[in-house]
Structure 1
């Protein structure tokens, strides 16, 4: 916690701590002490810095978290997003800030676990899919359950990029998955029954 407080402080005496946190996963582009003094800290210049992390109630401060903090990321091209994460980019500023501080306090023993899933939604279901997964995982910063800072349904810019080219790419990717056809065969009867007897 002291490292987090020092990072957020603008006092010159804390510059060394902030520089080390910024550079924890950015060997190629470390923040300099001069850059820190000029207000160019990596995490605090994030476009999302206006968002505030909800505080835990005082009665719950000493109690353990009920589960590991979650971050649900969304991407059309998973490999590109994965590389952005490894490079310490600003894909999620809050997650990377906490990860960098923990890595400084407990080097080598505080990893982030990645569990990619293949969410093969139809293009028109992007927003609903994001909303559903984010809420199921309780990954919003506002509830204290995770690192997602954008409103569910708005995390992925591709949700607004429904061009014909993007639709075609999504469709080809989805239909080329080996389990797509089997899942379709299993789900189609359910969809047909629902269409024949819609809820009233």
Structure 2
């Protein structure tokens, strides 16, 4: 039986353990970034405007019903790290509040296969576009330590590809085509995007 975590509960005060710690800095203001930023070897279109406030927000319309839930198509079959197809399709396309269970990503092949010597790019499990690259501005050990502490892969502003990632007013983190990714749960260090591994386990678009 597949277990799901109600991500809406993460937003409630008074939770214990790692979830509560993740909320400790929820009032921290978002960082500002000026100018353009290089991402994955190219300039991010979304960051060409100076002094862009992060996260970049979207309207609820992005998550409107389409031909396959909130997306135009199912998740791809060849997901990385042995991520479960049914779990991925449900979370990405037919879900707004639930997440893979805390620590799910550590039960996959991710920790065995991830590059420990350089950044890894994480692709949308539906469309194959690049959504995150990590680590950026920190070590792989720091990235993994933070992710393990909170239960989900956790990204910072500079690790997000703002060409394809948006947030809604309730903190939900989504792709520009309607894939549910996770939630932004700021802490004392700024925005922290807690993302389902099954949502970013796609192969690059050109490889499909």
As a proportion of its length, which structure holds more helix?
1
As a proportion of its length, which structure holds more strand?
2
TM-score by shorter chain over 0.5: no
TM, length-normalised to structure 2:
0.24
TM, length-normalised to structure 1:
0.25
